[in-house]
Structure 1
Amino acid sequence: MMMLGRFDMALPEALIAVLLGFAVLYLLDVFGRKRKDREPPLIKGWIPYVGKALEFGRDPSTFLAALKKKHGDVFTVRIAGKYMTFVMNPALYPAVIKHGKQLDFHEFSDEVSPRTFGYPPIRSPKFSGLHEQIQRSYQFLKGENLNSLAQSVVENLELVLRQDHMTEGSQWMTDELYGFCFRVMFEASFMTLYGRPAQGSRHTQMAELAKRFRKFDAILPFLIAGVPISLLGAARSARKELKCFLQPQKLASWVAPSRFIQERVEVFEQYHLLGDLDKAGHHFTMLWAAVGNTVPASFWAVYYLLMDPEALAAVREEVHSVLEPGSEWSHALTRERMDNLLLLDSALSESLRLSAASMNIRVAQEDFTLMLAPDYSVDLRRGDIVALYPQSMHMDPEIFEEPQTYKFNRFVEDGELKRRFGKPGQKLTYSCMPFGSGSTKCPGRHLAVLEIKQFLSLLLLHFDIELLEAQKPVGLDLSRAGLGILFPAADVRFRYRRRTV
């Protein structure tokens, strides 16, 4: 009875404390930020701190479209304590993308990436010059370096496909499409970057590693949002195990890593204040960068082809055209030949247009006036986030006719790739932006596109593939909106069999 009485007394005290907390937040909100002249319209929402985070999280595109209709091309929204100024007119994008001094991405990435992947911030006197050396390492993901990466990618893809999915005879095998894409792409990407084991052709722990990766990846939006990983127990242990697998002593025992990873290993060795798990955190960041968006992009590329028999037949015929009599497929699918497959390129660009929902972010470094056009400017405050949300552009019917419809040849015109689209009477510098923009554009995008093209090519060369009947069309999972390629809302069953050529 005494304990019950104490509980009865504690309950109103706790309730009063909660109400006081909300009252403080409300007062801060009431007497807090007000819109000034020349600033964009301000939408704060009625929930202190949270603002419009819930509405944005449910369906960003619909939410932003409604605000654009009401407030115009530029407006500021409070989302989870941050003030985000959205620029919704793609004709105004260049002013944001090319504006370097007062709008910067690094303040955001320097905070989020170390917290998410578990390593100390590198912009510190402790690690002088490290950031610059890391940036220089990205040169090994483009240009002539892509030729050797292309060979490695296709060899690893074919190794996994042959050993796991090519049975004798021509019987049909069934699987879930996203799971299939994940297993193949994850292992092939891992071996391409970090190399193969000294003994045997494949890493024996790859299935467990992939399982841990998916567990971590599932809670990534919470980490990006600032939820401490200590509150996400399963993710915390998954991250630790993934990092342990990528410690320097393990990497040193593997054969034929990419020049990109070799360069980063050599750079990290120069910094003795970086512990082994810190270095592993950097390597884990690159693993996620190589897989996190590439796998769902691969899924959508395959899925849309399977949903469109005409597209599937046309792209398969084009892929076969790169083969020379007697040539081995792993040597035929070179970077140069992949670049010349226009329909394959267009089909991939179209699936990316439909599934990409990245948010391009810059942080205002000071109070200043942003000139968006010769006769249009807005005032911004230090610390405000300026955001572009290209999915709204990708779904604009004035830019892309019937934007909800998959058209595999949309990006081909007069026998050449079509990269520029526009509105009636208006040319646009940017019209399709699945990989970010300007200085924040994904440095690994060339490798990602190449790998997806090679994966698609090998599937079309090696297998007959088709979706199982009586399945609902797959929608987009909006829970990762803003982070890149959206996941499917559900997996889909398909079947495949070895193809006789």
Structure 2
Amino acid sequence: MLWTVFLLLNGLLLLVLLYSTRRRQKNEPPLDKGLIPWLGHALEFGKDAAKFLARMKNKHGDIFTLRVAGHYVTVLLDPNSFDSVLNDNDLSHNRIQLLQRIFSLSLPNIEPAAEKKWMEQHFQGVSLSRLSRAMNTHLKNLLLSNQEGCNPSEWKRDGLFNFCYSLLFRAGYLTLFERGDNAAAVYKEFCTFDSLLTKLARCSLKREESKTANLSREKLWELLSPDWLNGGSESSSWQQNYIRFLKEAGVDAEMQKRALLLQLWTTQCNAGPAAFWLLGFLLTCDEAMDAVKSEIKGLNLQDVSSQHPPINPLEAHRTPVLDSVLSETLRLTAAVMINREVVQDKILCMANGQEYHLRQGDKVCLFPFLSPQMDPEIHEDPQVFKYNRFLNKRTMKDDFYKNKKRLKYYTMPWGAGRNVCVGKEFAIATIKQFVLLVLTHLDLKIDEAHGTFELPAVNPSRYGFGMLQPDGDLQVKYQLKRRQHEE
């Protein structure tokens, strides 16, 4: 027995030494292993990726390799060189482990290309218009029903994040899943699950948190499972079409249920936080709010009451000011990470002509939030919200430069290349519709009773998981506009 333990300990020590003795070879990026064997920089990376990677960029430049929990990750922060990663077929996008870890989901029969093609069919063209109109209808109904029973002169109070997230989540759930019977229960359980999702992904849950996450996940599987999946009558919803796609790919009933949670999170996790930041920036910047309201007033919208059929303003009007505000909001608060795996040794060619050798089994990471989005050479005063940063008089500005070279990627909230978000247009339409409805139907103000007129800081654990979320909330008050009372 003692001999067995001795051999195991020696084996573990050998593994630690192997991971600790890696040396930078010729033409490899700068190597930073950190002080802790095996773990390396994992703790710092998970705590606040933006702050940590900014420090590494100042130390090493636009490319460097880090040791993170036994893996070696090459971080590339030169946007002029992103295409060398995004368009390289020798770098694979392996999401299998992440799906298993977060959603306890396995989809071995689903080809990424086939899944993307299906998503494009249902989030573009005629389908996009139909979904956007349905979303607009649900948003408006929920917004107005939220005011039912209130005294016309009464101000309702809420946290802006909860206000935006709850309305957009329920409207999105109604649009894609076409179920109103359990929307509130799904939203409540989803918030519990989402609050632990980053720890699930990083395997850093405490025992009680793990129990909570597993229980919440199981509840959501049952809540999302439609009656017809268990033998009831089928509907013609987006959800039903997605289940049909899974069935045709040979996915069993249990994994179908679990895949619905993946799609719920994918489709609903970003719009609410994006709307929160956008409205928060407007509420804390009078110049921006005045510019957006002036543009909306100039649209001459007729759909100001529930008696008129809903319209999608994106189909009939141009809104360059609102578009610029949205782009600036996403530049400041969208923090995706684009990850690839090196399937065989390769040479990475940088835009400046420098070439670096990457080792098989390593990972490559792009973090557009740090560069280009927060790069002062590309965006002057990058930490500051400037509503007209992406505005050239009445058109959108798209000429940004680094090292005197015009950038293809100057902001990347939706990813790029094979990583580009298929639902991008639907998300943009949804956020803009929501902001338009709020500003045309409600008087929305910061609640001065709470004494704070500033947006909360971001939750640093959300870097790498799409839209950032606030560490706290902004308290607001709102009521129907006067003309709404009179109708």
| TM-score greater than 0.5 by the shorter chain | yes
Q: Does 1:232 align with 2:222?
A: no
Query: Which sections of structure 1, spanning at least 5 residues, go unmatched?
Result: 1-15, 197-201
SS in 2 for 1:363: strand
* Alignment-derived partner of residue 457 in structure 1: 436
Q: Determine if the alignment matches structure 1 residue 211 to structure 2 residue 200.
A: no
Within the alignment, does 1:304 sit opposite 2:260 as a pair? no
Alignment of 1:346-495 (within 5 A): 346-373=324-351, 375-393=353-371, 394-423=373-402, 425-469=404-448, 470-471=451-452, 472-495=454-477
How far has the Cα of 1:92 moved from its partner? 1.5
TM-score when normalising by structure 2: 0.89
The letter for the 1-side match of 2:261 is F
Opposite residue 379 of structure 1, the aligned amino acid is H
Gaps (5+ residues) in structure 2? 1-5
In structure 2, which of residues 121, 136, 159 is the aligned counterpart of residue 176 of structure 1? 159
Once the two structures are TM-superposed, the CA of residue 321 in structure 1 deviates from its matched residue by: 2.9
The number of residues matched between the two structures is 468
Q: Distance in 1 between matches of 2:222 and 2:410?
A: 41
TM-superposed deviation, 1:326: 6.9
Report the CA distance shift for 1:320/1:19 in structure 2 as closer, same or farther (over 3 A).
farther
**Secondary structure, aligned partner of 2:163:** helix
SS at match of 2:350: strand
How far apart, in 2, do the equivalents of 1:256 and 1:316 lie?
Answer: 38
| AA of the residue aligned to 1:103 | L
Q: Residue 104 of structure 2 corresponds to which residue in structure 1?
A: 118
Matched, 1:289 2:266: yes
Q: 2:44 aligns with which of 35, 42, 55?
A: 55
Distance 1:17 1:312 in 2: 68
Which position in structure 2 is the counterpart of 1:134? 115
| SS at 1:174 equivalent | strand
Shift of 1:135: 2.3
Which SS does the other structure have where 1:430 is aligned? Answer: coil
Q: Do the aligned residues in 1 keep the contact of 2:107 with 2:255 (CA within 8 Å)?
A: no
Structure-1 residue corresponding to 2:133: 151
- The alpha carbon displacement at 1:497 in A equals 0.8
Over 3 Å counting, the alpha-carbon distance change for 1:234 and 1:321 in structure 2 is same
Query: 1:102: Cα distance to partner?
Result: 0.7
Going from structure 1 to structure 2, the CA distance change for 1:234 and 1:365 (only over 3 Å counts) comes to same
Instruction: Please give the residue correspondences for 1:210-359 in structure 2 after superposition, counting only pairs within 5 Å.
Output: 210-226=187-203, 232-250=210-228, 257-258=237-238, 261-271=239-249, 274-325=251-302, 331-337=310-316, 340-359=318-337
Q: Distance in 2 between matches of 1:434 and 1:271?
A: 31
> Mean alpha-carbon deviation: is it higher for 224-233 or for 298-307?
224-233
SS of the aligned residue for 1:232 comes to: helix
- Contact 1:247/1:277 (<8 A) preserved: no
Code of the residue aligned with 1:474 in structure 2: it is P
Deviation at 1:250, TM superposition (A): 4.9
Deviation track 1:300-344 (CA, whole Å, cap 9, x = no partner) reads: 011111111221122123223334457766523343136x11111
Q: Distance in 1 between matches of 2:80 and 2:249?
A: 44
- Kept after mapping to 2: 8 A contact 1:297/1:351: yes
Residue 194 of structure 1 contacts residue 254 of structure 1 at CA under 8 Å; is this kept in 2? Answer: no
Cα shift readout 1:479-500 (whole Å, capped 9, x = no counterpart) = 1111111110111210001012
Q: Would the aligned equivalents of 2:447 and 2:475 in 1 still touch at CA under 8 Å?
A: yes
Q: Distance in 1 between matches of 2:272 and 2:7?
A: 47
Number of the residue aligned with 1:189: 172
Residues 378-407 of structure 1, C-alpha deviation per residue, up to 9 Å, x if partnerless?
A: 001112111111111211122111111111
1:336–1:326 Cα change, 3 Å: closer
| Shift in CA distance, 215/41, structure 1 to aligned 2, threshold 3 Å | same
Equivalent residue in structure 2 for 1:67, among 31, 52, 56: 56
